[in-house]
Structure formats: C-alpha cells, structure tokens
Structure 1
C-alpha cells in the first residue's frame, strides 16, 4: 500500500502560515471552544472515520495510506470540513481588519490587508475586490474586511469581469442593508453571519452523520460477521425507521447502475425520514465490500454516498443556510451565500473542485451574455448546492487515490497564543 503524506498547496500553506502569524495578535483566553477549534476537532474526527470506513471497503487500507477503491462519503468529509475551516479563518482575518480599523483607519485597502499579515499571494484577489467596493462607496476598512472573506476561495473566478462586478455589487447591497449604524459595525454583522453559518453547519453535519458513523463502527466492532441484512435488522439510529432503511437499500440494489444515478430522493421516497438513509448507506457499504466486481462495488458505494449526502444537505445544512428566522444581528444568510457561490472551491486532496467549473458546464440559465453563469447560482438553495456536490463526486471518482491526501487541520490563532 502506497503511503501518501498530506501535501497542502502553496495557497493552503500561506493560509496555515497566516493562522500562525495571527496568533501573536490574539492573546485572550477563550472560555469555550472557538469555531476554529471545533473545526479542527471535526476535521480530525472525519479523518479517523475516513480510514475506519475506508477499511470496510478496502481491508488493505491503513491509516495514512491510500486506496484505489471508490471513496466513501467519509473520505470526502475531512476536505469539506477543512474548506469550512478556511472560511472561518477568513472571518478571523476580517475581524482583525475591523479591530485594527477601530484603533486607526487604514490609508488604503492594501494597507489594511498588509497590517493584518496577508502576504502578497493571499492579498491579490481581496485587494482587487476591495478596490471595487471602495468605488461603490464603501469605506476603505469596510471594503478590506469584506474582501478578506474571500482569502481562501477561488479567486480565479474573479478574472471574469462579470463575476467581479456582480460580486462587488452584491456585497455593497448587503452592506447597506446590514444592521448597525457605524460602518465597521455593519461590516462586522456580515462577518459574524458567515462565521456562524459555517460553524453551525460544520457542527450540525458532524454531530449527525459523524456521530452516526462512529456509532456504526462501534456496533460493527462487536457484531462479529457483518452482512447487509444484519445491518438492516440490528443496527439502529434515533429517528431511523427500519422498514424505510430496507426500502432504500432494496431500491439502491435495483437502481445502482441507472444513468443518471438516482438523486432526487424526495420524489423516490416521499414521506421518508432521511435518517433511515444512513442505515441503508451502511448496509450498501457492506454489500459493496463483497461485490463480485469492482464496477458493482463502485456503483453501490456511489449510491451509499448519495444517500448520506442527501441527509447531510437536505436535513442538516439547509436549515442552517436558509433559516426560517433571521437573527437581528445578522444579514441574510441566503444573500451572503449567493455572493460567495461563484468563488467556492474545495481541495479534495489532489482533486480540486470549483463551483464555477460546474456552473460553466451547465446550460446558461438566463441566456444573458452580460451575466456570468456562476453568478446565476446560490449555494443556499438546495438544488443549486445538491447538483454541484454530485458534480464534485463524479470528478473525484475519476481520481480515487487523490482524496487520501488528507488536509492539515487549521489551528485557531487564539489557541496558538496560549488560549484554551
């Protein structure tokens, strides 16, 4: 088994270096876990689960190693969590810009970004966006703080001037609608909204699906000879309905080779509690383990992945991204995520997924050459997010070993300086 070491890109190396550099600026102790501390714990937990579940499908897989077997949902999870952590680090940078401005206003967008430690590589896109925001009437430090939110995102998307223009216009509109009277307070409400959104989503998904995965592996360790039938009959999760799990499992066996692979599960399973899909997915992984061919195995793994991802996105992420009630100190999460959608990216190990690539691969929604396709989507809307994720799955399935280059979880700058 070939061992792969985590090899972060130069972009990620700069982000991790920045996290360390920011430590000297944040010396106050934290009484409870910060969002970045939670993210680090979650990413590490997912890495452990990725290898445990991966070894079910490929018994030769060892911690730190790689497998050519189709990746399971838990192999994707550490990378997705890391992306959330990078976004939270972006909010930490934005907070530093705001805090510095409360002491002394910056002379320019470049000055605002330089004095919080952004190196030349990381500040190119934020400076470009910040200047656009200044042209739209936003104060320099406000523009710099909002622009710094894109530090870890796909800045190449802004090379399309239509995307840059739409992003700046939407950020400006969100700023003017933000709660607060003073400019820096309005900017901070946007930063707080993004940090909470990423943190709450990270926690909700890990507690539900990560927790279910750990419960399954604990059950499996003491179950003896495990078969799909035993999983369906004996393994239970709170809110999962055994009859529904069996129904989903049978459907997957019958349709695993359909093209396209089934994915509209609200139509396939009306009235189902989607926690049942998790039990069905674990049974599918067990069935895949003993499949007669690699093609049959991969088809079953993909169905299991779709089941878990549906529960993840439909039940866990959607209420966070589009809450029924907006907090009084927040801006619209839906509007904020729409701004960031064209810039979204995740490094699944060596496999890089950009939302813009997905958007450009689809038919132009509005047929208007003056708008870029990525700006016509919104990550907060379930169909836009769901189809983009399925696109990412299909990309990653072509390079299965690449996903086993696991991320280096981000340290919270405040924790590095001696906090909790």
Structure 2
C-alpha cells in the first residue's frame, strides 16, 4: 500500500487548490450546477488525498483509504444523471405539446433511446400505459429511469410496484392536463436532486474550503490545533473534542461508529466536521496503515452523517411542500429500487444491497428493493455505509473520476 507517515511541505497542504471549488451559479441549470459541483469535489478529493498520501498525484491513483471527498464526485454525478433523466423526460413532454405521439415507441424515439436502456424504459412505460396513463406521460415518467439500474425492473414485483407508485404520483399532481401532471413529477425529482446536491456542496464543500484556507495560513498543523483553533461557524470546540476522542477509542469497533444521534445526542453536525478534519490530520501523522485507515473511515462517517442527516434532509423532506410539486418523499421512494452509483470502475446498486440484507417486511409478494425509501434517513444511511465499505475494498477504483454530463436539450 502506498503512503507514508512523513509530513509533506512542513505540514502544509500539498497541491493546494489554485482556485476555490466552483459554487453553484446564479441562474444556472441543474446540470450546470451539477457539473460545477462535481468538478469542485474532484479538486477537494485530490487535495485531501494528497494530505493523507504524500505519494498521490492528482490524476493518479492511491492505495490509501479514500477520503470522503473521493466518494462525493461519484455521488454528485449519480445525482446529475437523475437530472439528465429529467431533461430527457421534459424533452418528451415538450415534443408532445407540439404533436402527441402516435405510439409509445414514437415517444421514446424522440429522445433517441436504444439498446438495453431502451428496453427497461419501454417496459416500465408500457406498464404505466396499462395502468391508465396517456402515452406521452407514460414515456416521460419511464424516461426518468434512463440512467438508473434498469436491471432492478427485471423483478416483476419491482416493475409493478414502481409503475403503481408513478401512477399514484401522476394522479396526485396539482394540474388538470396529462402532460402537466407528468411534468409535476419530473419537476419534483429534478428540484429534489438539485437542491440536495447544492445543499451538500455548500455545507461540506464550504467547510472543507474554509478548512484548507485556514490550514494554508496556520503554519504547522496537527489535530490539536484543529480542535482548538479551526473556527467553523456553528461548531463547538468541546463537542468536536468529544467526537475526536471517541473516534480514537473506537476506530476499530465492529460495526464502525455510525449511530451518532445515540452516541452524541444533541451534538451539532458541524462539530463532527471539525472532528473529521482533526482525524484526517491524525491519520496523516500515523505510521501504521491499519490505524491510519481506521481513522480515515471514522472521519468519513462523521462527514457523511453531517451530509445526510443535516445538509440534504431538508431537500428530501421540506418543511413546506411546493404548490407545483408532488410528494418529494414519494418520488424518492419510487426511484429508490433503481438507484445506482458508479464509484469509478465499481458499481453499487440499492437492489444488490437490498437482496443481500433480507426481507424487511417479511412479505414475499414485495421485492426487497421496494421496501426502502431514500428520503428516509435510516433507510438510506446503512446502504450508504455499505457503499463506503465496497469502495474501501478497491480504493484505486474511486480515482477514475466522472466526466461532465451534457444537457441534451441545451443549445
């Protein structure tokens, strides 16, 4: 395994960002936001990995356990694919407003779907037609799964449940016209993914950029200075110290510490962020690879908890529903069985996770993947931790970073 305990450049951050990661731009499309966010995460992943692994070079690979920011570009890219699906669905609806499709095949031809992806979208769209949806509305909702794990729909229980949920969302939409009903579902998914992605980047990415700026000017930095001096707004030094000390004492626990609402009741998630940066510093100074990687993993869990428990949850379950949307939790529950994230050359799917972890409701008539809803924190938290563990087993795979997604309706 690569890496050493030596401190590069007198403890300063190696390969410091030449410019801060791009923030979401005013007036940008969701896919433009996503491109900037994914690129920003890639920059942060490289800087933090160079801190943990002095032999790492941006554009290369690392055998040292990846930091949280190495997972983030792939998760952002997966969210971007959901926004790309929304753009394709809207393209079908826009074409239908000019002239309704004469058949389901024509509706899908309008967005150029082919191959195995076409077959899974067609299968779902046909089931939606059989459940009473108009052709173009069915094709648009089916297209929302284009870049997802279509193989999950090979289980007929998942196919029927997914179609039934889409049908319920369609009829619940606050619009009289069939195309407007379908667009309300599309709009809800796109906004949920975009707002969640922006919220996470503003929170975790913003904290990371503030940390790197502070670290660059702080001189020699170790975990103690992080815990006592890094001024992250909203964090409390005494809470960060508690979380840091707990991590040192329990880094080798099985399962790894993760139920932080029970371990640290009332703790602000930003304090966990400070503790995570201190743990990265401790890992940087740790010679033994086993100890170092255990510290990195707990730090990743701290940042992931802040990301999922605090930053993104309001996007999934907003305090007030938008009048032109359908239920965000129900949209996410509908999409959950087809979730897939490519961590570089690794593929993680919710379906694989669900089938490997038993039948939650004990009913053989329901497929395990349909028993999860991504908007529910405790439904998604264990699967997210599972995806981390998969990445830890093949760390070099994560450094194959995603490229930009292009909006097919632009230009």
Task: Report what 2:152 is aligned to.
Answer: 157
Q: Per-residue CA shift, 1:50-89, capped at 9, x if unaligned?
A: 0001111001111101100001100000000000111000
**Structure 1: how far apart are the matches of 2:43 and 2:406?**
18
Task: Report what 1:347 is aligned to.
Answer: 342
Q: Per-residue CA shift, 1:133-189, capped at 9, x if unaligned?
A: 000000000000000000010001011111011101111111111110010010000
Q: Summarize the alignment of residues 138-217 of structure 1 with structure 2, pairs less than 5 Å apart.
A: 138-217=133-212
Cα shift at 1:272:
0.8
Q: 2:27 matched to 1:32?
A: yes
Task: Report what 1:53 is aligned to.
Answer: 48
**For 2:341, what is the secondary structure of its paired residue?**
strand
Q: 2:374 matched to 1:390?
A: no
Answer whether contact 1:240 1:275 (CA < 8 A) is retained: yes
Task: Report what 2:118 is aligned to.
Answer: 123
**For 1:168, what is the secondary structure of its paired residue?**
helix
Task: Report what 2:36 is aligned to.
Answer: 41
Q: Per-residue CA shift, 1:380-400, capped at 9, x if unaligned?
A: 100011111001011111000
Q: Summarize the alignment of residues 73-92 of structure 1 with structure 2, pairs less than 5 Å apart.
A: 73-92=68-87
**Structure 2: how far apart are the matches of 1:123 and 1:211?**
39
Q: 2:82 matched to 1:95?
A: no
Task: Report what 2:229 is aligned to.
Answer: 234
**For 1:150, what is the secondary structure of its paired residue?**
coil
**Structure 1: how far apart are the matches of 2:53 and 2:408?**
37
**For 2:163, what is the secondary structure of its paired residue?**
helix
Cα shift at 1:360:
1.0
Answer whether contact 1:126 1:150 (CA < 8 A) is retained: yes
Q: 2:114 matched to 1:108?
A: no
**For 1:347, what is the secondary structure of its paired residue?**
strand
- Which of 297, 314, 318 aligns to 2:313? It is 318
Answer whether contact 2:232 2:270 (CA < 8 A) is retained: yes
RMSD over equivalenced CA pairs, Å? 1.4
Task: Report what 1:266 is aligned to.
Answer: 261
Task: Report what 1:295 is aligned to.
Answer: 290
Q: Which runs of 5+ in 2 are unaligned?
A: 3-24
**Structure 2: how far apart are the matches of 1:80 and 1:409?**
13
Question: Which structure ranks higher in relative contact order (CA pairs < 8 Å, sequence separation ≥ 6)?
Answer: 1
Q: Which runs of 5+ in 1 are unaligned?
A: 3-29
Task: Report what 2:394 is aligned to.
Answer: 399
Task: Report what 1:5 is aligned to.
Answer: none
- Which of 289, 314, 330 aligns to 1:335? It is 330
Cα shift at 1:130:
0.2
Q: How many residues align?
A: 389
**Structure 2: how far apart are the matches of 1:33 and 1:122?**
28
- Which of 252, 256, 265 aligns to 1:257? It is 252
**Structure 1: how far apart are the matches of 2:407 and 2:240?**
39
Answer whether contact 1:101 1:141 (CA < 8 A) is retained: yes
**Structure 2: how far apart are the matches of 1:414 and 1:52?**
34
Cα shift at 1:218:
1.6
- Which of 213, 217, 238 aligns to 1:218? It is 213
**For 2:258, what is the secondary structure of its paired residue?**
coil
**Structure 2: how far apart are the matches of 1:412 and 1:373?**
33
**Structure 1: how far apart are the matches of 2:123 and 2:363?**
25
